[in-house]
């Protein structure tokens, strides 16, 4: 597997070495964090240190961070008992709670006139196309109509500045494994004074908002990942991917002039490229690239491994064939120009075969 090239960072980021170390160290904390003895206080200190690290990532107070099993649970916690309005481009974990639909244009940017419901969900960035939303603008529109705002910052946190207050959000969702942390742990950041109806009741952990003994090992890894990701962002590691991503798109366009790059005319995450050739199934491309040693995807990885027409592209107005022909390449700080050249060459050979077969 050492000769493989990983280009699916939006699905999950590789585990960071410092995260692994933090998790191994947390395994030696034998106490229950709810216990008052020394062992319990040690376990509690690990959680609170991690809470502070996550809070610093998004510029909030430590008390505003509630740990969950991931972004899916965070979305459920924020949405419970509320009428949620969102676009069909939202991630499945948010879309599952949709009460009212919001249209988008062909770039995947919201077209919001009125909020039908009491909670508006607006992703900071789309996981498939990388398109960024003007969260402040939509938050202002929601406030004018007495609605609250849930921001999905899963893809954006650690890639560009993400602040709960600056985004105008009442809730903000995070997931550790998108930051190079462990899978199975995330957070819902809740603005001070905002109440939620718990989805898991019991012992009253996490300020009574999410009961159950905390996942100390996962939370320790989450904290370490958040701290490392923020430093990486400030060092410009993700900004540097802008040129690399654009270089790849230029090469693809030269090989396949008819290729469409979705969301290209809108602000995007610097690492994300979603493109397709009409009629060439994304699923086929993913398998061909996988056999050649390149890990890419045909959209969001959070649908139980199912490959189907992209709901995001359908919401943007593209037909089923087009929506089934897209692939996503999402880069990370360790990807190189040589890897891009290898991928483009391999993709180009597969494209030539597709064209010959389709002729």
Helix (H) or strand (E) holding 221: helix 216-234
CA dihedral over 83, 84, 88, 91, signed as positive or negative: negative
Candidate list 93, 189, 274, 302, residue with the active-site label? 302
CA 227, distance to chain mean position in Å, is 17
Residues 92 and 315 sit within 8 Å (Cβ to Cβ): no
The phi and psi torsions of 127 (rounded to 5 degrees) equal -70, -25
CA distance 334 to 123: 26
The two structure tokens encoding residue 67: 């740990």
How does strand 272-276 pair with strand 84-87? unpaired
Look up 302 and say whether it is catalytic.
yes
**Residue tagged 């969950």 (tokens):** 68
CA distance 237 to 9: 14
Of 231, 58, 19, which Cα lies nearest the Cα of 157? Answer: 58
Integer-rounded Cα radius of gyration of the chain: 21
The two structure tokens encoding residue 337: 């120009």
The two structure tokens encoding residue 112: 């919001």
**What amino acid positions are annotated as catalytic residues?**
302
């Amino acid at each position: 597997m050492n000769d493989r090239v990983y280009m699916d960072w939006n699905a999950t980021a590789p585990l960071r070495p410092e995260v692994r170390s933090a998790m191994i160290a947390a395994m030696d904390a034998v106490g229950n964090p709810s216990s008052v003895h020394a062992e319990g206080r040690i376990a509690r200190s690990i959680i609170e240190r991690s809470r502070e690290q996550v809070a610093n990532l998004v510029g909030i107070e430590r008390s505003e961070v509630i740990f969950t099993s991931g972004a899916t649970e965070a979305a459920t916690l924020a949405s419970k008992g509320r009428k949620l309005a969102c676009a069909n481009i939202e991630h499945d974990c948010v879309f599952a709670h949709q009460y009212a639909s919001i249209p988008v244009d062909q770039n995947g940017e919201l077209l919001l006139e009125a909020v039908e419901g009491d909670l508006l969900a607006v992703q900071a960035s789309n996981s498939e196309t990388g398109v960024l939303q003007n969260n402040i603008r939509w938050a202002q529109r929601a406030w004018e109509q007495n609605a609250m705002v849930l921001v999905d910052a899963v893809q954006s946190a650690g890639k560009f500045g993400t602040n709960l207050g600056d985004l105008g959000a009442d809730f903000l969702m995070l997931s550790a494994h998108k930051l190079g942390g462990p899978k199975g742990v995330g957070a819902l950041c809740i603005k001070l004074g905002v109440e939620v109806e718990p989805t898991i009741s019991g012992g009253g952990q996490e300020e009574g908002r999410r009961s159950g003994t905390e996942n100390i090992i996962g939370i320790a890894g989450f904290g370490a990942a958040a701290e490392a990701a923020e430093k990486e962002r400030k060092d410009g590691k993700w900004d540097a991917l802008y040129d690399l991503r654009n270089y790849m798109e230029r090469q693809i366009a030269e090989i396949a002039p008819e290729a469409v790059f979705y969301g290209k005319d809108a602000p995007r995450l610097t690492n994300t490229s979603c493109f397709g050739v009409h009629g060439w199934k994304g699923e086929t491309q993913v398998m061909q690239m996988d056999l050649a040693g390149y890990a890419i995807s045909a959209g969001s990885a959070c649908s139980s491994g199912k490959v189907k027409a992209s709901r995001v592209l359908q919401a943007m107005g593209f037909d089923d064939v087009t929506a089934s022909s897209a692939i996503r390449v999402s880069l990370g700080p360790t990807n190189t120009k040589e890897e891009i050249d290898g991928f483009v060459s391999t993709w180009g050979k597969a494209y030539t075969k597709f064209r010959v077969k389709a002729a």
